[in-house]
Amino acid sequence: MTTAVPELLTVPDVMARLKVGRTKVYDLIRTNRLVSLKVDGCRRIPAEAVRDFIRRGTGEAA
C-alpha cells in the first residue's frame, strides 16, 4: 500500500500561481488563510492548500 505524498510548493511557486507578491503570500500565511509548514527552516505550502484558497475565493464548494 502506498501513500500519496502531497505536492509542496515554495513561496515563489505560490506567487506565480496566485499572481501576487512575496509579501502577500506571507500575509496569507500569517493570517491563516493559507496553510503552510516549515521544512528545515524553509516555508512550504501544500498545493492542495492553494487550490482550497482559490475555491474559497471563487465561492466554489470544496
Q: How do residues 3-18 score in pLDDT, each as one tens digit?
A: 777 899 999 999 999 9
Q: How do residues 1-60 score in pLDDT, each as one tens digit?
A: 567 778 999 999 999 999 999 999 999 999 999 999 999 999 999 999 999 999 998 776
Is residue 27 assigned to a domain? yes
C-alpha cell at 39: 521544512
Residue 3 is predicted with a pLDDT of: 74
- From residue 9, how far is each of 1, 19, 29, 54, 60 by CA, in Å? 25, 14, 13, 15, 22
Is residue 1 assigned to a domain? no
Enclosing domain of residue 38: 8-57
Is residue 49 assigned to a domain? yes
Is residue 2 assigned to a domain? no
Name the nearest CA neighbour of 45 among 59, 32, 58, 62: 32
Total domains present in the chain: 1
Q: Is 52 exposed, middle or buried (0-12, 13-18, 19+ CB in 10 A)?
A: middle
The DSSP string of 25-48 is HHHHHHTTSS--EEETTEEEEEHH
